[in-house]
């Protein structure tokens, strides 16, 4: 997984200026991090990684880096249908 | 004899809840953002004294106005709701009386949410094709708004109230097609998801809340234990797992390909989810129905409302194969294929 690519995807999703999102940034301080953005991350994992992220763990993420780790790490499991 | 859908009518409460009203209340979501993310611009909300039976009766009266079946010939009433007027008696018994249906008519409630319409079709097919009934009235009536906390935007933006009445009749098989008017079914259940869409308090497990204290989640949505709770992320994950698999299983069972289906009507959950499912399943735009803009997610009434709207707009035509897939609270899901007949709407 290319972390930079997913940072760009998160920038689009969270409606922030391209190139401004950092891994240490606290996600809850971002204006557009809400329950809809959370669905967006789940959709991103499904579409681009064909994987599934634990939604409860995603909701508990503190930083952008935590989200990337979830997307990248062992918690991303392949969808059984794929 | 075969069971066939003869007609659908629906009823929505008069009171509207618009995105403008929601945006005014929840300052950080604009009206446009709610529309963009949910695909919904307004929902209909039942008044305080307006219950599932009231909406159900109005939907049924609209169906009877079309003279498809005299009310005295209804011999079974199936009523799906999770917001009944009372714990007991069944809302179906209240509706039987208010509609003036025969006292020889069977009537029962069944408790399912967004999968309820498809399960109801399966039950009606069983009643008709085993000769137990000739004219089944399937009513799907829901007033989820009564469970929703006014400060919970995660569900207030999505759910609307409504009821649909569907007439399923016994008909002679059509000599021109090998398709059944209501085809094979696939069903699914996974109670591990029960906690993700629930009203925790009010039933016999916990009759009254130990506290009425309002609690806020990480996104600031407020609710008490007596309100509807939805873990949107988990519901989304369940849906993108279960629905594609249900579609695949149904097509396999019926020996059909997606190309053989003329129109696809999923439970109208929310725009974001439907868009994702459409993309994931590679369903062409012209075959995919999205009709929740002015009604919201009406739970078990959403599929018959969508069918009715698709037929009224000319998208759904006589003889077409329509796949219907219901999914949600439980978790519970079901799917079938209908051969649409002129005059159903």
- For B291-328, write each residue's pLDDT tens digit: 999 999 999 999 999 999 999 999 999 999 999 999 99
Q: What is the C-alpha separation between B279 and B267, in angstroms, rounded?
A: 16
Using pLDDT thresholds of 50, 70 and 90, give the confidence band for residue A74: very low
In a domain, B177, yes or no: no
Out of A11-15, B33-37, B200-204, give the one with best mean pLDDT: B200-204
| Cα-to-chain-centroid distance, residue B319 | 23
Give a yes or no: residue B164 inside a domain. yes
* B244 in contact with A, Cβ within 8 Å: yes
Per-residue model confidence (pLDDT) at position B62 = 97
Same domain, B192 and B167: no
What the block records as the tokens of B317 is 């035509």
Residue B197 and residue B50: Cα distance in Å, rounded?
Answer: 23
Mean pLDDT of B218-242: 92
Pair of tokens at residue B264:
């696809």
Q: Is the pLDDT of residue A78 over 80?
A: no
Domain boundary among B150, B171, B192: B171
pLDDT at A35: 84
Judge: B272–A42 Cβ closer than 8 Å, yes or no: no
Q: Once rounded to an integer, what is the mean pLDDT over residues B136-154? A: 97
Domain boundaries, chain A: 3-78
Chain A within 8 Å of B237 (Cβ-Cβ)?
yes
Share of chain B above pLDDT 70, in %: 99
B226's enclosing H/E stretch is: none
Contact: B233, A42; criterion CB under 8 Å: yes
Tokens of B211: 């506290």
Chain B, nearest residue to A59 by Cα: B218
User: What was the pLDDT predicted at B344?
Assistant: 56
Is B16 contained in some domain?
yes
Residues of A in contact with B277 (CB under 8 A): none
Q: Are strands B222-223 and B229-230 parallel, antiparallel or unpaired?
A: unpaired
Spatial CA neighbour of B231 closest among B242, B251, B213, B217 = B217
Question: Which residues from chain B sit within 8 angstroms of residue A53, using beta carbons?
Answer: 237
Catalytic residue among B60, B69, B80, B114: B114
Mean pLDDT confidence for B5-14: 97
Strand order in the sheet with B263-266: B182-189, B332-339, B321-328, B263-266
Q: What is the CATH number of the domain that holds B200?
A: 3.40.47.10
pLDDT of residue B320: 95
Q: Do A35 and B245 touch (CB under 8 A)?
A: no
Residue of B221, B267, B270, B344 with catalytic role:
B267
Residue A76 has pLDDT above 80, yes or no: no
- Kind of pairing, strands B215-216 and B76-80? unpaired
What's the pLDDT tens digit per position in B23-59? 999 887 899 989 988 999 999 999 999 999 999 999 9
Asked about B297 being catalytic, the answer comes back as yes
ipTM comes to 0.82
The CATH code belonging to domain A3-78 is: 1.10.1200.10
Same domain, residue pair B165 and B40: yes
Instruction: Pick A4 or B148 by higher pLDDT.
Output: B148
Q: How far apart are the first and last CA of chain A?
A: 18
Given CB atoms, is B231 within the 8 Å cutoff of chain A?
A: yes
CA nearest B94: which of B79, B114, B112, B73?
A: B79
User: Are A35 and B232 an interchain contact pair (Cβ–Cβ within 8 Å)?
Assistant: yes
Rounded average pLDDT over B225-241: 94
- Report, as an integer, the average pLDDT of B161-184: 91
Same domain flag for B219 and B329:
yes
Q: Confirm or reject contact between B151 and chain A (CB < 8 A).
A: no
Report yes or no on B176 lying in a domain.
no
pLDDT tops 80 at residue A82: no
Task: Say if pTM beats, i.e. exceeds, 0.90.
Answer: yes
Domain extent, residue B271, equals 182-339
Contact yes or no for B233 and A35 at CB 8 A: yes
d(C-alpha A43, C-alpha B37), whole Å: 13
| Among B151, B171, B191, residue at a domain's last position | B171
In terms of domains, do B115 and B208 share one?
Answer: no
Look at residues B59, B110, B89 and name the one whose alpha carbon lies nearest to residue B326.
Answer: B110
**What's the CA gap between B296 and B287, in Å, rounded?**
20
| Domain edge (last residue) among B113, B147, B171 | B171
Q: With H, G, I as helix, E, B as strand and everything else as coil, classify residue B30.
A: coil
Residues B142 and B16 in one domain: yes
Smallest CA-to-CA distance from B161 within B287, B25, B295 is with B295
Count of A-B CB contacts under 8 Å: 58
pLDDT at position B179? 86
Is the pLDDT reported for residue A80 higher than 50? no
| Least Cα separation, residue B34 to chain A (angstroms) | 10
Scan for tokens 């439907």, then name that residue: B274
Q: Do B90 and B115 have their domain in common?
A: yes
Average pLDDT over residues B219-243: 93
Tokens 């508990």 — which residue?
A60
Q: What is the pLDDT of residue B217?
A: 87
Residue of B nearest to A31 (CA): B28
The arithmetic mean of pLDDT across residues B275-286, rounded, is 95
B222 and B149 part of one domain: no
Q: Looking at the 3D structure of chain B, how many domains does it have?
A: 2
B208 in the same domain as B163: no
C-alpha span between A35 and B174 (Å, rounded): 48
Alpha helices in B130-194, H assignment, sequence order: 153-156
Nearest to B165 by CA among B102, B71, B87: B71
Q: With CB atoms and an 8 Å threshold, state whether B236 touches A80.
A: no
Probe site for chain A from B155, B240, B270 (most A CB atoms < 10 A): B240
Instruction: Give the model confidence (pLDDT) of B191-200 as tens digits.
Output: 999 999 999 9
Buried b (16+ CB within 10 A) or exposed e, B2-15: bbbbbbbbbbbbee
How confident is the model over B208-226, as pLDDT tens digits?
988 778 999 888 899 999 9
Residue B6 lies in a domain: yes
Nearest to A81 among B37, B241, B272 (CB): B241
Residue identified by tokens 């003329």 is: B262
Q: Which among A29-38, A39-48, B3-12, B216-225 has the top mean pLDDT?
A: B3-12
Task: Identify whether the C-beta of residue B39 lies closer than 8 Å to the C-beta of residue B290.
Answer: yes
**Is B19 designated active site?**
no
- Tell whether B249 is covered by a domain: yes
C-alpha B275, offset from chain centre: 18
Inside any domain, residue B345: no
Residue B34 lies in a domain: yes
User: Residue B174 above 90 pLDDT?
Assistant: no
Give B7's strand partners. B167
B69, B210: one domain: no
H helix or E strand, kind and range, residue B323: strand B321-328
pLDDT of amino acid A3 = 86
Q: Are B159 and B144 in contact (CB under 8 A)?
A: yes
pLDDT tens track for B101-138: 999 999 999 999 999 999 999 999 999 999 999 999 99
Name the β-bridge partners of A30: none
What's the token pair of residue B206? Answer: 């916990």
Looking at chain B, which residue has its C-alpha nearest residue A39? B233
Gap between the Cα atoms of B10 and B314, Å rounded: 18
Question: Residue B243: closest CA among chain A residues belongs to which residue?
Answer: A81
Query: B55 and B76: one domain?
Result: yes
Evaluate whether B181 touches B196 at the Cβ level (below 8 Å). Answer: no
Q: Which of A66-80, B93-107, B141-155 has the lowest mean pLDDT?
A: A66-80
Residues of chain B contacting residue A58, judged by C-beta atoms under 8 Å apart:
233
Residues B285 and B136 reside in one and the same domain: no
The phi-psi region of residue B328 (left if phi > 0; otherwise alpha if psi is between -120 and 50; otherwise beta) is: left
A15 vs chain B: nearest CA distance in angstroms? Answer: 12
> pLDDT band at A36, cuts 50/70/90?
confident
Enumerate residues 6+ apart whose C-beta is below 8 A from B233: A35, A38, A39, A42, A55, A56, A58, A59
B161 and B191 co-located in one domain: no
If you measure CA to CA, which chain A residue comes closest to B281?
Answer: A47
Q: Which residue is associated with the tokens 């219950």?
A: B51
Dig out the tokens for A45 from the structure: 């994992």
pLDDT of B149 higher than 70: yes
- Give residue A81's pLDDT: 43
Please indicate whether residue B276 is annotated as part of the active site: no
Of A59, A79, A80, the CB nearest to B218: A59
pLDDT of residue B107: 98
């Amino acid at each position: 997984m290319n972390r930079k690519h997913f940072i760009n995807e998160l920038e689009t999703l969270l409606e922030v200026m391209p190139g401004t999102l950092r891994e240490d940034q606290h996600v809850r301080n971002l204006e557009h991090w809400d329950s809809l953005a959370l669905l967006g991350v789940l959709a991103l994992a499904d579409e681009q990684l064909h994987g599934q992220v634990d939604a409860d763990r995603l909701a508990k993420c503190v930083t952008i880096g935590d989200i990337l780790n979830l997307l990248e790490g062992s918690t991303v499991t392949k969808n059984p249908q794929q | 004899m075969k069971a066939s859908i003869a007609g659908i009518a629906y009823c929505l409460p008069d009171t509207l809840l618009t995105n403008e009203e929601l945006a005014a209340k929840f300052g950080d979501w604009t009206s446009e953002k709610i529309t963009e993310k949910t695909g919904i611009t307004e929902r209909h909300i039942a008044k305080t004294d307006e219950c599932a039976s009231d909406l159900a009766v109005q939907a049924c009266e609209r169906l009877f106005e079309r003279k498809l079946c005299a009310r005295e010939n209804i011999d079974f009433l199936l009523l799906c709701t999770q917001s009944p007027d009372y714990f007991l008696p069944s809302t179906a018994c209240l509706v039987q009386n208010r509609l003036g249906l025969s006292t020889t008519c069977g009537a029962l409630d069944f408790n399912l949410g967004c999968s309820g319409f498809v399960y109801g079709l399966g039950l009606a097919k069983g009643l008709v094709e085993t000769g137990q009934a000739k004219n089944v009235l399937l009513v799907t009536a829901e007033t989820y708004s009564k469970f929703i906390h006014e400060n919970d935007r995660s569900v207030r933006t999505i759910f609307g109230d409504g009821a649909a009445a569907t007439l399923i009749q016994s008909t002679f098989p059509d000599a021109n097609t090998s398709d059944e008017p209501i085809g094979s079914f696939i069903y699914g259940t996974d109670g591990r998801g029960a906690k993700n869409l629930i009203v925790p308090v009010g039933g016999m497990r916990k009759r009254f809340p130990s506290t009425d204290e309002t609690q806020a989640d990480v996104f600031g949505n407020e609710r008490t234990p007596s309100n509807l709770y939805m873990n949107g992320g988990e519901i989304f994950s369940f849906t993108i797992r279960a629905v594609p698999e249900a579609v695949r299983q149904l097509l396999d069972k019926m020996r059909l390909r997606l190309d053989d289906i003329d129109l696809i009507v999923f439970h109208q959950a929310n725009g974001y989810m439907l868009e994702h499912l459409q993309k994931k399943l590679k369903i062409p735009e012209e075959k995919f129905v999205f009709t929740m803009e002015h009604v919201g997610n009406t739970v078990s009434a959403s599929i018959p409302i969508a069918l009715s709207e698709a037929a009224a707009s000319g998208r759904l035509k006589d003889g077409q194969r329509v796949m219907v897939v219901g999914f949600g609270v439980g978790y519970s899901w079901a799917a079938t294929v209908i051969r649409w007949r002129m005059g159903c709407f």
